Amino acid sequence: MLLRNKAEGSKAPREDDFTKVSFFHRGRRAARGAALKKQGSEAPSQESGGSEGRGFCLFMTLIDRFILLVLAICLTSCGSSVRLLNYPFDATGRGLNSPASELTPHLSKRYIVFVSDRRGSQDIYLYDATERRLIDLPGLNSLDAIASHPGISEDGKTIVFAASRQGRSNIYLYNRETFQLRNFTKNLAAEVRHPTISADGSRVAFESSKNGQWDIVVYNSSGKPLNLPKLF
Eight-state DSSP code of residue 144: T
pTM beyond 0.75: no
pLDDT score recorded for residue 31? 55
Between CA 71 and CA 162 the distance in angstroms is: 49
pLDDT score recorded for residue 6? 40
Domains defined along the chain, listed by start: 2-81 (no CATH), 87-220 (2.120.10.30)
Is the predicted pLDDT of residue 30 greater than 50, yes or no? Answer: yes
Alpha helices in the chain (DSSP H): 15-41, 48-77
The helix/strand/coil state of 153 is: coil
139, 180 contact by CB (below 8 A): yes
* pLDDT tens column, 132-167: 999 999 999 999 999 999 999 999 999 999 999 988
If DSSP states are collapsed to H, E and C, what string results for the chain? CEEEEECCCCCCCCHHHHHHHHHHHHHHHHHHHHHHHHHHHCCCCCCHHHHHHHHHHHHHHHHHHHHHHHHHHHHHHCCCEEEEECCCECCCCCCCECCCCEEEEEEECCEEEEEECCCCCCEEEEEECCCCEEECCCCCCCCCCEEEEEEECCCCCEEEEEEEECCEEEEEEEECCCCEEEECCCCCCCCEEEEEECCCCCEEEEEECCCCCCEEEEEECCCCECCCCCCC
pLDDT band at 60 (very low <50, low <70, confident <90, very high): low
Is the predicted pLDDT of residue 18 greater than 80, yes or no? Answer: no
Average pLDDT over residues 205-227: 93
* pLDDT tens column, 169-205: 999 999 999 999 999 999 999 999 999 999 999 999 9
pLDDT score recorded for residue 101? 92
